[in-house]
Amino acid sequence: MQLSQANVEYIFDYIEQLCGIALDDSKGYLIEARLNSLVKQHALSNAVELIDKAKSPLGESVRQSLVEAMTTRETFFFRDNSPFEALQFKALPELLDEKYKEKSNRIRIWSAAASTGQEACSIGIILHEMIPDLHRWDIQIIATDISEDALAKGRSGTYSKMEVDRGLPSQYVTKYFGVTKEGYKVVDSIHRMIRFQQLNLMHPFNFSYPFDIIFCRNVAIYFEKKVKIDLFRRMLPLLPKYGYMFVGVSESLFDCGPEFKPRYHCKSTFYQPHMPPPAPLGPVRGPAVAAPPIPAKPVAPVKPVASVKPTASAPIAPKPASAAAAPGFARTIPSTSSFATPATRVAPAPSTFSR
């Protein structure tokens, strides 16, 4: 059955309302490619009836089927690499310094739109690499996604050889994965710190604690601008004053408000939403102009100082030959008693000053 333009818009509007994904006329082929199998599965006539059933009070299973069909699960270990380098060599060292100042061992990280868990595992590997006394820390990575199928795979912690070979350095495979008959399973020390839970980013967040770091990468690119801005602004209160926000390499938060301050490291951009602005340099009253030269003050002529000559009857005693110069900056200064008047004159004595 050929759908009218109004029917296509009706379907796309509901999908955006359901999971945030914005579709336009160029994506009309997705109705046939992704929804026709659901129409047959639920014994319906067309995609419009599928949407009608999803909207009904008893349509929870249809709604979840729509989510699984329409969401993209493209992910791999250390995706784009540079954000993970910025985490390892900039954000995480700064965060650890802040925790030491606070005398806190608690770190909370949110991997939003975590899909099958490769991003959360990559973060866990970096934590192991950077914190030698990891067992002394209270660390938890919350990995959320709208897809229950994706979360189920993440909870298993097992990945195929193709998935492991895609983005994961060989030394990390040896160090942090064990080989099983199902594939490669992440070690327990990483898997235990990750908690997978279902979350629709279109819904209100119900976290009872803040996050030190939030990864929300490569998901808002599927949203309308207003939905994207609303998403990141709702995340804002979940970050402390030193918190970090990582987004996809093709994304930016410049249109989300002045609170999102970009920082740059390892060819990556991340954001510290509460970072204070630089201190002002002072009021500017007009265009900058060169200051006039300050005239030099006239210097009064130096009067010659009359030399003091000893009388013929009182020659200055020469330095005794036995007096030895002190090392370093030592020098011999004549005693002021050599300039006494004839009535009080005494024999001069050498004086040694060292410094």
Candidates 99, 162, 33, 237; CA nearest to 173 is 162
What band does 349 get if pLDDT is binned at 50, 70 and 90?
A: very low
What band does 294 get if pLDDT is binned at 50, 70 and 90?
A: low
Residue 10: per-residue pLDDT: 94
Find the mean pLDDT for residues 200-214: 95
Q: Range(s) for CATH 1.10.155 in the chain?
A: 5-70
**69-84 residue pLDDT tens:** 999 888 999 999 999 9
Q: Is 227's pLDDT higher than 70?
A: yes
Question: Residue 110, Cβ neighbours under 10 Å: how many?
Answer: 25
- CATH for 5-70, among 1.10.155, 1.10.3720, 1.10.3470, 1.10.1660? 1.10.155
What band does 183 get if pLDDT is binned at 50, 70 and 90?
A: very high
What band does 281 get if pLDDT is binned at 50, 70 and 90?
A: low
Lowest mean per-residue pLDDT among 92-106, 133-147, 303-317: 303-317
Amino acid identity for residue 137 in this structure: W
Name residues whose C-beta falls within 8 Å of residue 234's C-beta, 6 or more positions apart in sequence: 204, 205
Dist. CA 352–CA 247, nearest whole Å: 73
Q: Is 338's pLDDT higher than 50?
A: no
Q: Range(s) for CATH 3.40.50.150 in the chain?
A: 82-272
Judge whether 272 and 213 are in contact, CB under 8 Å.
no
What band does 340 get if pLDDT is binned at 50, 70 and 90?
A: very low
Dist. CA 291–CA 230, nearest whole Å: 49
**185-195 residue pLDDT tens:** 999 999 999 99
Find the mean pLDDT for residues 238-258: 93
What is the share, in percent, of the chain residues with pLDDT greater than 70?
A: 77
What band does 29 get if pLDDT is binned at 50, 70 and 90?
A: confident
What band does 278 get if pLDDT is binned at 50, 70 and 90?
A: low
Candidates 129, 138, 135, 126; CA nearest to 99 is 138
Residue 335: per-residue pLDDT: 43
What is the share, in percent, of the chain residues with pLDDT greater than 90?
A: 68
What band does 32 get if pLDDT is binned at 50, 70 and 90?
A: confident
Q: What integer best gives the mean pLDDT of the chain? A: 84
**45-64 residue pLDDT tens:** 999 999 999 999 989 999 99
Q: State which fold the 82-272 domain adopts.
A: Rossmann fold (3.40.50)
Residue with the larger pLDDT of the pair 304 and 183 = 183
Question: Residue 60, Cβ neighbours under 10 Å: how many?
Answer: 10
Dist. CA 155–CA 172, nearest whole Å: 20
**299-313 residue pLDDT tens:** 555 555 555 455 555
Cα-based distances in Å from 148 to 143, 198, 300: 12, 6, 90
Residue 228: per-residue pLDDT: 96
Q: Is 233's pLDDT higher than 80?
A: yes
Cα-based distances in Å from 265 to 82, 245, 276: 8, 13, 18
Residue 330: per-residue pLDDT: 42
Distance from chain centroid for Cα 348 = 76
Q: Is 109's pLDDT higher than 90?
A: yes
